[in-house]
Amino acid sequence: MSSLSAASVEIPAVTGGTEEKKKPLKPCCACPETKKVRDACIIEKGEENCRDLIEAHKDCMRSLGFKI
């Protein structure tokens, strides 16, 4: 019975680590909150009027490890 509980404990740990290695965070999926607001601003007001939102999105991306 202890081998069953050991196997059930190991499976989630291995699966979680494998998923992270197989599916790293893609830039297109990172920071959806700042990306959505930034994109809406650029469409409505133009890139030159949305510098603060663009920088906020870049800061978010950098905090996740992306080199921007």
- Distance separating alpha carbons of residues 12 and 24, to the nearest angstrom: 18
Residue 60 annotated as binding site: no
- Distance separating alpha carbons of residues 30 and 48, to the nearest angstrom: 23
Residues 6 or more apart whose CB falls under 8 angstroms from that of 62 comprise: 68
Residue 28 annotated as binding site: yes
- Distance separating alpha carbons of residues 3 and 9, to the nearest angstrom: 10
Which residues contribute to the annotated binding site?
28-29
Which residues contribute to the annotated binding site for Cu cation?
28-29
